[in-house]
Amino acid sequence: MSLVKVVETAKSLVDILLVWLVLYYVLKSLRKNVKMVLLFKGIIFIFLLKLVSVVFDLVTIGYLLDYVLEWGILAIIVIFQPEIRNVLEQLGRSQLLGRHKVLTVDEREKIVYEIVTAMEAMKKTRTGALIVLERDNSLNDYIEKSKKIYAEISSELLVTLFFPNNPLHDGGVIIQGDKITSARAVFPTSDNLKISKRLGTRHRAALGISELTDCIALVVSEETGRLSVAIGGELHYNLSADEVKLLLLEELRPKQSMVLEDGEEEEGGSNEEVK
């Protein structure tokens, strides 16, 4: 095989790889956006209907679909501009190399212990709290507009930050890796119509940020003291402390199982979704 053919083959492979990467990240983003999923299904339905009109020579419906396909892209861009912008923003937040710090087993267990201990304490006193753990999608946009802290994670510090008389208790706390990065962070609230009207701003903010990123959002209700976790646009409501712990340990595991130096494979818990 000549050098020219090798170069052409390499270019074709790179071209195909880039197309698949774009499709992968777009479909991954679509999966977390209900409106865009419905839009995607509608587009597939129109193309299938067009295929049927061609096969069975349906002139009228084919003529109408030609106009839909000709002007449909422009209409989609105008009508679904906010959703398209959210998808592009989410792609921009993605860290291609994964989360900034892969936690060891000991670090992960310590972090989960401190967070769950703090949530249990705030549950007893019905202190409202919103704790957001960053994963692969960057939360720097929200960190920039919040109060920077960068401190070691401890249950005492978390409880103190959300104490009602503390000037930083409004908003949420953002955790990156094994550090509390900032407090008083403001997150977009979810506009999902299926959310119960009984849920307050913290739950809606937790759902909102979980719809836009792959973070883990933890909530302590100020009214009831109930513990909830929002992941991927789904709210796991009214969990026990043990259920929160198991869910966190599972979700914070590296994407690929790691084998410890002593030969023991990492353990992880299961989680149960509570509607």
Tell whether 41 and 136 lie within a shared domain: no
The answer to whether residue 173 sits within a structural domain is yes
Residue 261, domain member (yes or no): no
Number of domains forming the structure of the chain: 2
- Give a yes or no: residue 55 inside a domain: yes
Average pLDDT for residues 116-132, to the nearest whole number? 95
- Asked if the structure places residue 98 within a domain, the reply is no
- pTM of this prediction exceeds 0.75: no
Same domain, 111 and 203: yes
Q: Do both 181 and 84 map to the same domain? A: no
**pLDDT tens for each residue of 158-181:** 999 999 888 888 899 999 988 999
Q: Which of 44-53, 67-76, 262-271 has the highest mean pLDDT?
A: 44-53
Residue 170 falls inside a structural domain: yes
Quote the domain boundaries for residue 163. Answer: 105-251
pLDDT higher than threshold 90 for residue 72:
no
Q: Which two tokens stand for residue 94?
A: 């993605």
